[in-house]
Structure 1
Amino acid sequence: MLSYLAKVIFLIGVYALYRYLSINLKPIYKLIRDIIKEKFLGHTLEGLTDRYGKWAVITGSTNGIGKLYAKELACNGFNVVLISKMESKLKILAADIEEEFKVQVRIIVADFSKGLETFKNIEQVLDTIPIGLFVNAFGVAVYDVGNMCSLTREELTVILNTNIEAVTELSRYFLQRMYCTNSKAAIVNISSCLEIYSTPFSALYDITKIYNRKLTLALQQESRRFKVHVQHVLPCLVPTKTIQICNAILKDSKLFTPDPEAFVHWAVSTIGRLDESTGQLWYADQFFRWLSQVL
């Protein structure tokens, strides 16, 4: 009897392992397969604009990863809507993208810390534009603020409105639109590896990124039947001007520090292919070394 029971448990374990590997490795296999077909076999693959149409929206588009996403998507042929609170930077970036990539560019000045009024203005501008891809790259970091007790009520409100309310409300708005079109669409939520690591002096930021992850992974399951791909991107330390701390921490580890442009180029290539990504293949090393400390 025990021998029979052991065999049953063994078979259940084998099946569970098979299911786990097939679910988690299948997207990676497809990505590698597509890269081989395109780079080495000369096949022409379906482009992002073929899948998602001609218009993309990017928040946080005047700095860091958001700015690089805007340029990379324009390079892929998208007309782009740039959203940020810095009007002067938006106008400069819009002119640069129009000149370099010969695409249409719209700008929306929005301060997400202000709450619901901000979203009404965004929706009024976007309602007439056929958006097929939304990238949420905006967020407020708190590295220079200090411990939790040093935050004022106003600073708490800014962080929560920007990192939680904005990603929730914008995801709701774009999903509602995308569900109605009944065509392929995608949402990319940029998070952070801090969602899996408790970091002193940025506890509130960590919590907002945990929320981002939970929301994005849940929306993935809700949206599949509507042909909407929701992707979760969790970069670790990308040396951009937005996060100067990266340069200090990783100045002696350039091998495993992704070049920002290369990082975003790879990350964009995974849209519609991977549900969850660290952004770049080399970059996964950072993630797993970080994760090993947690476990």
Structure 2
Amino acid sequence: MRLVITMAAVDRFSLLYREISRSCSFYMEALAIVGAWYTVRKCVSLALDTYSVLRLHVIPKLSGEIDLVKKYGKWAVVTGSTDGIGKAYAEQLAKHGVNIILVSRNKEKLEAVSRSISETYKVETDFIVADFSKGRELYPAIKEALKDREIGILVNNVGIFYAHTDYFTNLSEDTLWDLIHVNIASATMMTHIVLPGMVKKKKGAIVNLSSGVCCQPTPMFTVYGASKSYLDYFSRSLHYEYASKGIFIQSLIPFVTSTNMVAFSSTVSKRSILFPTAEEYASHAVSTLGLSIRTTGYWKHAIQWTLGECLPEWMWAWFALYLSRILRKEALAAKAKSE
């Protein structure tokens, strides 16, 4: 009797399983199609990303150099050009035969860099002394100095950071105004001065130096990051306004580079596999000119950007806050030790 009941139960279970499988087959097929579609999309996305990396960071290095003078014009204006990325970028443009106009606040450094570039790369150089923290009073003189030049490339590189990573309320009013005048107003007004001439010639390029901290909200970089986010938005929007007029506008978004801007920390100011020198960064960044309107400019930084975008905002912010506190503590300890 027990054997019969057991067999009947097995039969009923087998029948039930067949009925359930039959009714679910449609859903299984639908899920299989969704899975296949997701896989195809990911594969296509990976292929496009790989192609983009090769097009930006590999192919330009293998192919012949682009004639920047013919493509954009004889002269390039580079702001913040006596140190770091600005100086290195100016040298790379000079290497391509472009004449350079350096703009910075230190006359002695300007003279030295101008002479060095002219002698090394056999191009014409000039310089304009300008302290962008002074606000709108200096732009009429800059406009007058540039009015008879054929400006083909403008590199808005000048920028400042805090003395070290810090909380917003610890920043002085002078620091906040300097960040606004130097990081935001300078690029806006320099572009306003140079762009009409480019439009008239129907060719030109403008490069605005943003920062990787605008990838996601970054605490203790708050005002600096916001100013760099402005440049990123400004560049991308302006490109769509003027691309049809032959003007190429690029938002360049580097991550940490070993320059004086990060000298407050011995940890991030040293060259490493993730932190290139300004010269190494600039040699890659210049090769992306004319190819991408928004790029980190360097393949290692591109990997960092991709990883940063994958992180949830809270995780990025938590890690940034943790790291910033360490850097602040390190900077304050070094300052106390030197006093």
Quote the offset at 1:239 in angstroms: 0.8
Quote the offset at 1:121 in angstroms: 0.8
Quote the offset at 1:129 in angstroms: 0.6
Structure 1 CA distance for aligned equivalents of residues 293 and 90 of structure 2: 20
Per the normalisation by structure 1, the TM-score is 0.84
1:285 maps to 2:310:
no
User: For the Cα contact (< 8 Å) 2:250–2:289, is it kept in 1?
Assistant: yes
User: For the Cα contact (< 8 Å) 1:49–1:78, is it kept in 2?
Assistant: yes
Alignment of 1:190-209 (within 5 A): 190-209=209-228
Q: 2:101 is paired with a residue of what secondary structure?
A: strand
Structure 2 CA distance for aligned equivalents of residues 292 and 27 of structure 1: 18
Structure 2 CA distance for aligned equivalents of residues 199 and 107 of structure 1: 35
Aligned to 1:66: 86
Identity %: 30
The structure-2 alpha-carbon separation of the partners of 1:37 and 1:266, relative to structure 1 and needing over 3 Å to count, comes to: closer
Structure 2 CA distance for aligned equivalents of residues 122 and 52 of structure 1: 21
1:241 maps to 2:268:
no
Aligned to 2:60: 35
Structure 2 CA distance for aligned equivalents of residues 168 and 24 of structure 1: 31
Structure 1 CA distance for aligned equivalents of residues 52 and 184 of structure 2: 28
The amino acid that maps onto 1:139 is G
User: For the Cα contact (< 8 Å) 1:56–1:132, is it kept in 2?
Assistant: yes
Structure 2 CA distance for aligned equivalents of residues 112 and 153 of structure 1: 16
The amino acid that maps onto 2:60 is I
Quote the offset at 1:213 in angstroms: 0.8
The structure-2 alpha-carbon separation of the partners of 1:23 and 1:232, relative to structure 1 and needing over 3 Å to count, comes to: farther
Structure 2 CA distance for aligned equivalents of residues 142 and 63 of structure 1: 17
The structure with the larger Rg is: 2
Structure 1 CA distance for aligned equivalents of residues 269 and 173 of structure 2: 33
Aligned to 2:114: 94
Q: What's the RMSD between the two structures over aligned residues?
A: 3.1
Alignment of 1:50-61 (within 5 A): 50-61=70-81
User: For the Cα contact (< 8 Å) 2:60–2:288, is it kept in 1?
Assistant: no
Alignment of 1:120-135 (within 5 A): 120-135=140-155
Alignment of 1:140-179 (within 5 A): 140-144=160-164, 146-179=166-199
The structure-2 alpha-carbon separation of the partners of 1:294 and 1:230, relative to structure 1 and needing over 3 Å to count, comes to: farther
Structure 1 CA distance for aligned equivalents of residues 109 and 235 of structure 2: 29
Per-residue Cα deviation, 1:242-275 (whole angstroms, up to 9, x for no partner): 3225751375x82233232121011001111111
Aligned to 1:185: 204
Matching residue within 268, 275, 288 for 1:270 = 288
1:259 maps to 2:299:
no
Structure 2 CA distance for aligned equivalents of residues 249 and 242 of structure 1: 10
The amino acid that maps onto 1:125 is A
Quote the offset at 1:54 in angstroms: 1.4
The structure-2 alpha-carbon separation of the partners of 1:269 and 1:65, relative to structure 1 and needing over 3 Å to count, comes to: same
Per-residue Cα deviation, 1:66-125 (whole angstroms, up to 9, x for no partner): 010111111111110000011111011111111111111111000111111111111100
Structure 2 CA distance for aligned equivalents of residues 200 and 155 of structure 1: 17
Alignment of 1:100-115 (within 5 A): 100-115=120-135
Aligned length: 284
Q: Which runs of 5+ in 2 are unaligned?
A: 1-29, 314-339
Per the normalisation by structure 2, the TM-score is 0.74
